[in-house]
């Protein structure tokens, strides 16, 4: 039986087959299921780890990430706009043109970056105004707006949703405008950056039927930071698997889900995001699969307990699945 | 390559519908020869490690392995059985005098080899030809790539099948049928776990046992039901009394001999300052290379699979199956060679400066001891002076310290304090050139491998790419890692990242 009702939040998705649009195959539906389960699970005593060994990893992280982002959006209302706006500002490059609005005074300036005060441990956004630098904590970060260029005082506006028909049909019942408009880091995808970007941007997905197919990409749902080259609001971030010296993105939010796309991603980054639930994707065709399996098996051996996170989800042929809870 | 949902769907379908069966091939002469090799090994006991017997056993093991993994007539030149028989005849000439107890068994074994070499039988090839083949949609999979070309010419063309080594079976193409030559336990997990054919036939000698086949890699996992069709029970051999366990046949790599033959040692004493711990890798180009094992050592690798991946990774994480990049000819790593080309006429002077302060530091460490130098550096104002950092700063791979304060303290200690700022600037020029060299190499690899046609690279296991900036032959060799020594080897720092020749019997024997 193919599990078409993969999650309550998704409508029927299609992909571009050899000569026509066809419904997502069983394994892709399964990955949507798994993404939702990993994002929807909250164990008080530990972290949920779901590990999958697959015949190929292509699109696995993107599909699971899409489902994780939507589930987090549905299950976890924003704590405050300030957190999201702070995360958004933190994602912008140094020198981004901004305006600072306080009482009746609007000043233009440049974003310097995010820093944490060594004395009080509070993260603040530093901006450079003509009158001098200002450091604003999360609660005051909404006083800062991104503008096109100093002098214009025009607040940056970009097309919020790229494929509105695709998105609204793919996610019936979801406020796709709200999903697309606000920044919150719900999910990190750790893997080979160019491959993940290519999968997220691939316009190989569609909704609708007959001649009325609306095509789109998973990036519209996953909304990974910086992928489209613009500074849109984001819901997730791609972390290059092998940037050992790199830091994870500066963020006020803790991502609810970390997806490790490949053995190397898991080996290098599994000491991070210890508060998040994990999805580990191993490609049995890759030489590094056994190294990844050893790491998973070692963690499984010292697990806190088994997990029933995948209960009721039929594991498709050729896919191997393992779910457990480990100590944070 | 472009990510494709359709391609991914095809690969899932192949994995879920995979059919696996074993085809047993009987051949009494090969069975007798294999059993005789086994008997000689047992008979020799501790003598097997003697320098007299080691090359003999290595050659016998290699012949036995090739007979069981390569579907060619025994008289085919690729096997070289005649020259192996001559080699053994020469080596065993003194056996009667040196090891009289073992001489009859050794003579008998050599005669068995002579008989095999004079015959024209081709049991594995005949079994493969007898299978029904779909022209142009089938593949013969060999355990090693060494004889793939010969098998393609002799067998592949006549049955219309591609011939690939197991490590080459990574591209996303899916065949209708595959014949895998040898027991399943000899093959990497991905051959069956991420299959590139819908039907896989394991063609093996009947007297070889095999382990059960299971595509799972996790303990305690659930596998999708139809995917379990890729499982097979264990096989004990047609006659258990004369069966040979399949795990006895794969070549034993003589890492100690390879290390000593290439200037390395597993002995840490005495710890020479110009030597480093390194990983020893064997490559598909039948060469060895050492990569530094110290923390922070990295190298470019390419992984070819359903998607192509180019990454700069820690050397400790490089495993068989990955492709690594080395310089062909010349000394040392390719990055300094390209960096020197970028530096142009200034390179000799800048490198001389670099060598001068490194030499002074090396001499100081030799005369005072590393701990004393660390203490003196701290006293001179270096906040990051530790034994590990000092070793790195003194190594050839390091151009300068990360922080200028540490560098100034270093210069002060070796008597170059007055020139510290000037030397720092010069080292910065070298550092920038290294960065640009790395970017050029990356661009080349992206162009030739990520965006290029890699069929030749996959088939042969290695390929050379011309780089104008490198003097002399000017090429980078991208080669698949076939094996990795289980322990690090101590080697002269100048010998890392150089391609070194390896005698085949040390590796394949």
Q: Which residue of B has its CA nearest to A201?
A: B3
- Average pLDDT of chain A to the nearest whole number: 84
Q: Give percent helix, percent strand, percent coil of chain B, each to the nearest 5.
A: 50, 20, 35
Q: Quick one: pLDDT at residue B443?
A: 82
Cβ distance of B221 and A57 shorter than 8 Å: no
Q: Quick one: pLDDT at residue A2?
A: 42
Q: Which residues of A touch B4 (CB under 8 A)?
A: 58, 202, 204
Mean pLDDT of B472-483: 81
Cβ distance of A55 and B6 shorter than 8 Å: no
Cβ(A241)–Cβ(A265) below 8 Å: yes
Residues 170-209 of A with CB under 8 A from B: 192, 194-195, 198-199, 202, 204-205
Residue A149 has pLDDT above 90, yes or no: no
Q: Which residues of B touch A314 (CB under 8 A)?
A: 224
Q: Which residues of B touch A202 (CB under 8 A)?
A: 2-5
Cβ(B37)–Cβ(B61) below 8 Å: yes
Mean pLDDT of B351-370: 91
**Residues B104-117: pLDDT tens digits?**
889 889 888 988 98
Q: Quick one: pLDDT at residue B351?
A: 93
Q: Quick one: pLDDT at residue A244?
A: 44
Residue A219 has pLDDT above 60, yes or no: yes
Separation between Cα atoms, residue A277 and residue A271, nearest integer Å: 13
Residue A231 has pLDDT above 80, yes or no: no
Q: What b/e string do you get for A15-26 counting C-beta neighbours within 10 Å, with b at 16 or more?
A: bbeeeebeebbb
> What length is written for chain B?
509
Q: Which residues of A touch B227 (CB under 8 A)?
A: 316-320
Tell me the shortest Cα–Cα distance from A18 to chain B, in angstroms: 7
Q: Which residues of A touch B217 (CB under 8 A)?
A: 53, 282, 284, 289-290, 293, 320
Q: Quick one: pLDDT at residue B271?
A: 60
Q: Write the CA distances from B486 to A170, B254, B256, B301, B502, integer angstroms.
A: 50, 11, 11, 20, 17
Q: Quick one: pLDDT at residue A101?
A: 78
Q: Which residue of A has its CA nearest to B310?
A: A192
Most A-contacting residue of B193, B195, B312, B451 (CB-CB within 10 A), to test interface? B193
Cβ distance of B2 and A283 shorter than 8 Å: no
The neighbour count for residue B436, using CB atoms within 10 Å, is: 15
Q: Is the Cβ of A311 closer than 8 Å to some Cβ of chain B?
A: no
Tell me the shortest Cα–Cα distance from A125 to chain B, in angstroms: 27
Q: Quick one: pLDDT at residue A49?
A: 96
Cβ distance of B6 and A53 shorter than 8 Å: no
Tell me the shortest Cα–Cα distance from B221 to chain A, in angstroms: 5
| Of A158-167, A197-206, B385-394, minimum mean pLDDT range | A158-167
| Of A179-188, B47-56, B121-130, minimum mean pLDDT range | A179-188
Q: Quick one: pLDDT at residue A103?
A: 66
Question: Percentage of chain B with pLDDT > 70?
Answer: 94
How would you write chain A as a 3-class SS string? Answer: CCCCCCCCCCCCCEEECCCCEEECCHHHHHHHHHHHHHHHCCCCCCEEEEEEEECCCCCHHHHHHHHHHHHHHHHCCCCCHHHHHHHHHHCCCCCCEEEEEECCEEEEEEEEEEEECCCCCCEEEEEEECCEEEEEEHHHHHHEEEECCCCCCCECCCCCCCCHHHHHHHCCCCCHHHHHHCCCCCEEEEECHHHHHHHHHCCCEEECCCCCCEEECCHHHHCECCCCCCCCCCCEEEEECCCCCCCCCCCCCCCCEEEEECHHHHHHHCCCCCCCEEEEEEECCCCCHHHHHHHHHHHHHCCCEECCCCCCCCCCECCEEEEEEECC
Mean pLDDT of B302-315: 80
Q: Quick one: pLDDT at residue B163?
A: 93
Most B-contacting residue of A58, A191, A192, A242 (CB-CB within 10 A), to test interface? A58
Residues 330-349 of B with CB under 8 A from A: none
Q: Is the Cβ of A25 closer than 8 Å to some Cβ of chain B?
A: yes
Q: Which residues of B touch A27 (CB under 8 A)?
A: 9, 12
Q: Is the Cβ of A13 closer than 8 Å to some Cβ of chain B?
A: no
Residue A38 has pLDDT above 70, yes or no: yes
Higher pLDDT, B224 or B253: B253
Among A145-154, B128-137, B204-213, the range with the most confident prediction by mean pLDDT is: B204-213
Cβ distance of A318 and B224 shorter than 8 Å: yes
**Residues A50-97: pLDDT tens digits?**
999 999 999 999 999 999 999 998 887 665 557 777 877 887 888 888
**pLDDT band with cut points at 50, 70 and 90 for residue B215:** confident
Q: Quick one: pLDDT at residue B228?
A: 59
Separation between Cα atoms, residue B389 and residue B383, nearest integer Å: 11
Q: Quick one: pLDDT at residue B172?
A: 78
Q: Quick one: pLDDT at residue B509?
A: 63
Strand partners, B288: B282, B500
**Residues A232-257: pLDDT tens digits?**
778 999 998 875 444 555 555 678 99
Cβ distance of B218 and A58 shorter than 8 Å: no
Higher pLDDT, A26 or A287: A26
Higher pLDDT, A267 or B71: B71
Higher pLDDT, B455 or A111: A111
Q: Quick one: pLDDT at residue B461?
A: 86
- Average pLDDT of chain B to the nearest whole number: 87
**Residues B289-306: pLDDT tens digits?**
999 998 778 888 888 876
Q: Which residue of B has its CA nearest to A50?
A: B221
Cβ(B183)–Cβ(B202) below 8 Å: yes
Tell me the shortest Cα–Cα distance from A269 to chain B, in angstroms: 13
The neighbour count for residue B150, using CB atoms within 10 Å, is: 17
Label the pairing between strands A257-261 and A277-283. parallel
Separation between Cα atoms, residue B19 and residue B177, nearest integer Å: 10
Cβ distance of B8 and A192 shorter than 8 Å: no
Mean pLDDT of A268-292: 89
Among A141-155, B89-103, B216-230, the range with the most confident prediction by mean pLDDT is: B89-103
Strand partners, B25: B205
User: What ipTM score was computed for the predicted complex, to two decimals?
Assistant: 0.80
Residue A157 has pLDDT above 50, yes or no: no
Kindly list the strands in the beta sheet with A132-137, ordered across the sheet, starting from the edge strand earlier in the chain: A132-137, A123-129, A105-116, A97-102, A144-146
Separation between Cα atoms, residue B139 and residue B180, nearest integer Å: 9
Q: Which residues of B touch A315 (CB under 8 A)?
A: 222-224
Q: Which residues of B touch A322 (CB under 8 A)?
A: 218-222
Cβ distance of B215 and A244 shorter than 8 Å: no
Residue A266 has pLDDT above 70, yes or no: yes
Across the interface, which of A59, A283, A297 has its CB nearest the CB of B218? Answer: A297
Separation between Cα atoms, residue A292 and residue A282, nearest integer Å: 7
Cβ distance of A291 and B317 shorter than 8 Å: yes
Residue B187 has pLDDT above 90, yes or no: yes
Most A-contacting residue of B2, B172, B173, B221 (CB-CB within 10 A), to test interface? B221
Q: Quick one: pLDDT at residue A8?
A: 60
* Closest by CA position to B72, among listed B149, B4, B137: B149
Across the interface, which of B194, B219, B226 has its CB nearest the CB of A284? Answer: B194
Run of H or E including B484: strand B475-484
Q: Quick one: pLDDT at residue A271?
A: 87
Across the interface, which of B3, B218, B311 has its CB nearest the CB of A58? Answer: B3
Mean pLDDT of A294-309: 93
Q: ∠ at Cα B377 (B374, B378), nearest 5°? A: 90
What are the tokens at A135?
């450091």
Higher pLDDT, B212 or A34: A34
């Amino acid at each position: 039986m193919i599990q078409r009702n993969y999650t309550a939040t998704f409508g029927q998705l299609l992909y571009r087959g050899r000569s026509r649009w066809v419904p997502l195959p069983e394994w892709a539906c399964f990955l949507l299921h798994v993404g939702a389960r990993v994002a929807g699970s909250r164990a008080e005593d530990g972290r949920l780890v779901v590990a999958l060994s697959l015949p190929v990893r292509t699109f696995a992280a993107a599909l699971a990430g899409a489902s994780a982002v939507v589930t987090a959006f549905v299950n976890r209302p924003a704590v405050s706009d300030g957190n999201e706006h702070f995360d958004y500002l933190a994602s912008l490059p140094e020198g981004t043109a901004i305006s600072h609005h306080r009482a009746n005074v609007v000043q233009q300036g440049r974003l310097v970056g995010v820093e944490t005060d060594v004395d009080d441990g509070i993260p603040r956004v530093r901006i450079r105004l003509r009158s001098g630098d200002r450091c604003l904590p999360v609660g005051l970060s909404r006083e800062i707006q991104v503008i096109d260029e100093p002098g214009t005082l025009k607040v940056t506006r970009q097309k919020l949703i790229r494929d509105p028909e695709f998105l609204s049909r793919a996610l019936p019942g979801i406020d796709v405008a709200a999903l697309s408009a606000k920044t919150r880091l719900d999910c990190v995808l750790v893997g080979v950056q160019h491959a993940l970007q290519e999968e997220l941007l691939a316009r190989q997905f569609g909704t609708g039927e007959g001649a009325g197919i609306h095509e789109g990409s998973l990036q519209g749902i996953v909304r990974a930071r910086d992928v489209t080259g613009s500074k849109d609001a984001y819901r997730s971030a791609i972390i290059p698997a092998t940037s050992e010296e790199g830091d994870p993105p500066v963020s006020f939010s803790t991502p609810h889900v970390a997806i490790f796309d490949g053995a190397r991603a898991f080996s290098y980054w599994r000491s991070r995001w210890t508060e998040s639930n994990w999805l580990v994707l191993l490609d049995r065709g890759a030489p590094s699969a056994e190294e990844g399996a050893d790491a998973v098996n070692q963690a499984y051996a010292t697990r806190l307990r088994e997990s029933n996170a995948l209960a009721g989800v039929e594991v498709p042929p050729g896919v191997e699945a393992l779910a457990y809870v480990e100590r944070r | 390559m472009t990510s494709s949902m359709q391609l991914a769907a095809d690969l899932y379908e192949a994995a879920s519908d995979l059919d696996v069966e074993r085809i047993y091939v009987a051949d009494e002469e090969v069975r007798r020869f294999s059993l005789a090799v086994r008997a000689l090994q047992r008979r020799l006991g501790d003598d097997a490690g003697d320098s007299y017997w080691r090359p003999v056993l290595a050659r016998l093991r290699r012949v036995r392995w090739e007979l069981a993994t390569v579907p060619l007539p025994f008289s085919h030149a690729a096997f070289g059985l005649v020259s192996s028989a001559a080699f053994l005849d020469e080596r065993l000439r003194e056996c009667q005098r040196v090891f009289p107890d073992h001489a009859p068994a050794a003579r008998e074994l050599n005669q068995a080899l002579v008989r095999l070499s004079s015959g024209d039988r081709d049991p594995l090839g005949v079994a493969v030809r007898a299978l029904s083949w779909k022209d142009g949609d089938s593949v013969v999979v060999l355990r090693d790539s060494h004889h793939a070309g010969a098998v393609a010419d002799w067998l592949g063309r006549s049955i219309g099948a591609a011939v690939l080594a197991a490590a080459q079976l990574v591209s996303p193409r899916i065949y209708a049928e595959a014949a895998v030559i040898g027991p399943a336990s000899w093959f990497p997990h991905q051959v069956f776990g991420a299959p590139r054919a819908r039907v896989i036939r394991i063609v093996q000698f009947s007297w070889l046992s095999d382990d059960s086949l299971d595509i799972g890699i996790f303990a305690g996992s659930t596998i999708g039901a139809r995917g379990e069709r890729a499982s097979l029970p264990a096989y004990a051999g047609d006659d258990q009394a004369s069966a040979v366990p399949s795990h006895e046949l794969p070549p034993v790599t003589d890492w100690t001999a390879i290390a000593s033959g290439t200037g390395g040692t597993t002995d840490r004493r005495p710890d020479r300052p110009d030597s480093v711990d390194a990983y020893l890798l064997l490559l598909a180009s039948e060469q060895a290379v050492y990569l530094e094992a110290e923390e922070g050592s990295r190298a470019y690798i390419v992984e070819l699979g359903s998607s192509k991946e180019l990454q700069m990774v820690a050397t400790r994480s490089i495993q068989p199956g990955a492709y690594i990049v080395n310089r062909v000819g010349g000394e040392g790593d390719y990055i300094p060679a390209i960096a020197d080309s970028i530096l142009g006429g200034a390179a000799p002077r800048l490198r001389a400066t670099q060598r001068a302060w490194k030499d002074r530091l090396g001499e100081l460490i030799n005369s005072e001891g590393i701990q004393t130098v660390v203490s003196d550096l701290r006293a001179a104002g270096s906040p990051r002076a530790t034994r590990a950092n000092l070793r790195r700063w003194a190594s050839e791979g390091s151009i300068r310290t990360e922080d200028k304060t540490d560098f100034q303290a270093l210069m002060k200690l070796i008597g170059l304090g007055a020139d510290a700022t000037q030397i720092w600037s010069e080292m910065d020029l070298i550092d920038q050139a290294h960065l640009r060299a790395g970017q050029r190499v990356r661009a080349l690899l992206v162009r030739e491998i990520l965006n290029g046609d890699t069929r030749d690279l996959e088939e042969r296991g290695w390929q050379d790419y011309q780089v104008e900036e490198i003097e002399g032959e000017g090429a980078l060799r991208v080669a698949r890692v076939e094996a990795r020594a289980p322990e690090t080897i101590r080697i002269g720092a100048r010998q890392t990242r150089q391609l070194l020749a390896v005698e085949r019997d040390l590796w394949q024997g």
